[in-house]
């Protein structure tokens, strides 16, 4: 599969995932503003994990349309990803830390740690891609990781009851 085709598919998946966020909101019994703080945090994660890969995929597609294609295209894409991901990680980690401190059981370690590990690996690959490689695969890997995290977040929000809701 060519990079342009892979980015096109990733953009379509990201848009679909963002649409699923709307489904989650519609099927919850109360307004978003009345949700528990953890549920609003999860919704923000879902939206970020769909919007950010969409922007990255569109940026890659934009650079592929330049004629001739820049020689350092994947370095630029990885640089763009790194510029976006560092503040995002800091913001999300501080939010997750706040929930861990208040109630350690509120965040599933089964999903948090594997996704955090994949995210860390994807972020380090961006740095390596900028400095040495200039390859498409590391850039696409970070898009993949964020989409998988978004899918996991969507499934959690869809299948688990809202925080504070009765399980009966």
How far apart, in whole angstroms, are the C-alpha atoms of residue 43 and residue 150?
A: 10
What is the H or E stretch that residue 17 is in? helix 3-27
Neighbour count for residue 64 (Cβ, 10 Å): 17
In angstroms, the CA 99 to CA 41 distance is: 10
Q: pTM here?
A: 0.91
Do 157 and 42 touch, CB atoms closer than 8 A?
A: yes
pLDDT in tens, 53-70: 999 999 999 999 999 999
Q: What's the confidence (pLDDT) of residue 93?
A: 85
DSSP labels, 61-112? HHHHHSSSPPTTHHHHHHHHHHHHHHHHHHHHHHHHHHHHHH-TTSS-HHHH
Spatial distance between the Cα atoms of 88 and 141, rounded to a whole number of angstroms:
17
DSSP 160: S
Distance, CA of 63 to CA of 120 (rounded, Å):
25
* Low-confidence stretches of the chain (pLDDT beneath 50): 166-168
Largest CA distance in the chain: 61
Quote the CA–CA distance of 122 and 148 in Å, as a whole number.
12
């Amino acid at each position: 599969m060519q990079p342009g085709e892979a980015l096109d598919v990733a953009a379509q998946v990201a848009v679909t995932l963002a649409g699923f966020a709307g489904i989650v909101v519609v099927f919850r019994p109360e307004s978003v503003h009345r949700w528990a703080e953890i549920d609003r945090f999860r919704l923000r994660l879902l939206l970020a994990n769909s919007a950010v890969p969409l922007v990255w995929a569109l940026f890659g597609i934009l650079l592929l349309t330049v004629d001739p294609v820049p020689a350092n295209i994947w370095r630029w894409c990885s640089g763009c990803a790194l510029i976006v991901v560092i503040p995002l990680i800091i913001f999300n980690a501080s939010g997750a830390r706040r929930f861990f401190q208040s109630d350690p059981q509120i965040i599933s370690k089964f999903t948090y740690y594997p996704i955090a590990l994949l995210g860390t690996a994807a972020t380090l690959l961006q740095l390596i891609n900028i400095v040495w490689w200039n390859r498409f695969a590391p850039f696409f890997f970070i898009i993949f990781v964020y989409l998988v995290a978004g899918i996991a977040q969507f499934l959690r929000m869809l299948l688990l009851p809202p925080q504070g809701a009765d399980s009966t």
